[in-house]
Amino acid sequence: MAADSQANNQAITKTGSFQTQAEPMFTRVLHDLKKTRPHLAAHIAANSSVLERVRDYEKQTALVIQQVTLSAAKGEDIERLALLDPVTELFNHRAFIKELKSELARARRYKHHAGLVMVAIDNFEELAQKYGPLTTDAMLRIVSGSVRAGLREVDVAAKYNQGYFSLILSQTTSSGACLVGERIRQKVASQAVVHNGQYFSVTASVGVATCPDDATEYDYLIAAAIEALETAIIRGGDRVVSV
């Protein structure tokens, strides 16, 4: 995956402009987007900052995981370390990318939809600074439980990064993904974090994008979902926004 990420990164200059001749995938994807979603294609071509962040984080995560020492682990422990986030016990970022690529390949092959939902804990950094790491971990576990409660067995939940969760919804349209996002948003808001003498509640912002409506390649789909999520945050949080 690190090799894929490196190849993808080579297609973007430091200023964020596309070098379509360096990576044919970008030409293909933008061509497809121009046919199906011209406004989204124009936006991504004009401002690739979100897409760059997606790929930079993927690259950094791959490098960190490669440096993790597994010498003391055996059998199932190795599998857990390789696939799961230790705090939330959801898939980690690397496993999420692998599952998303697989789901999008199935969606393209069988011509069905796939939904991607990004969930962010509102004001996460401020809460982490206020309550400390142990209570923050308790908060992440409670929110991850709310995320799991809103999914089917065929869906995939992962911790994307600190305070962000990502959900892969098989055979799900935009309206269906928005319903899932709204259920999770309500569930998060209804939960109380009680830990180490602290008692508080949190809210979540949700961004939704779908394949093939918004993108067909995994990095473009993530970028679209994050843009929708950031729109929800800008509008005050505690809401669901789709592309």
| Euclidean distance between CA atoms 138 and 135, whole angstroms | 5
Higher local confidence (pLDDT), 25 or 115 = 115
Higher local confidence (pLDDT), 241 or 61 = 241
| For range 110-137, the mean pLDDT | 96
pLDDT at 7: 43
On whether the CB atoms of residues 106 and 218 are closer than 8 A, the answer is no
Tokens of 81: 């370390």
| Euclidean distance between CA atoms 132 and 127, whole angstroms | 8
pLDDT at 116: 98
Residue whose entry in the numeric block shows the structure tokens 């509008």: 235
pTM of the predicted structure, to 2 decimals: 0.71
Span 65-91, pLDDT tens digits? 444 444 455 555 556 667 899 999 999
Span 177-233, pLDDT tens digits? 999 999 999 999 999 999 888 899 999 999 999 999 999 999 999 999 999 999 999
Sketch the domain layout of the chain as residue ranges.
Answer: 70-242
Beta-carbon contacts of residue 185 (< 8 Å; ≥ 6 apart): 119, 203, 204, 205, 206, 238, 239, 240
DSSP code per residue over 87-156:
TT-SB-HHHHHHHHHHHHHHHHHHT--EEEEEEEETTHHHHHHHHHHHHHHHHHHHHHHHHHHT--TT-E
On whether the CB atoms of residues 116 and 100 are closer than 8 A, the answer is yes
Task: Select from 3.40.50.300, 3.40.1190.20, 3.30.70.270, 2.40.160.20 the CATH code of 70-242.
Answer: 3.30.70.270
- Kindly state the DSSP code that residue 18 receives in the 8-state scheme: B
Span 142-156, pLDDT tens digits? 999 999 998 999 999
| For range 2-29, the mean pLDDT | 42
pLDDT at 167: 97
| Euclidean distance between CA atoms 240 and 231, whole angstroms | 9
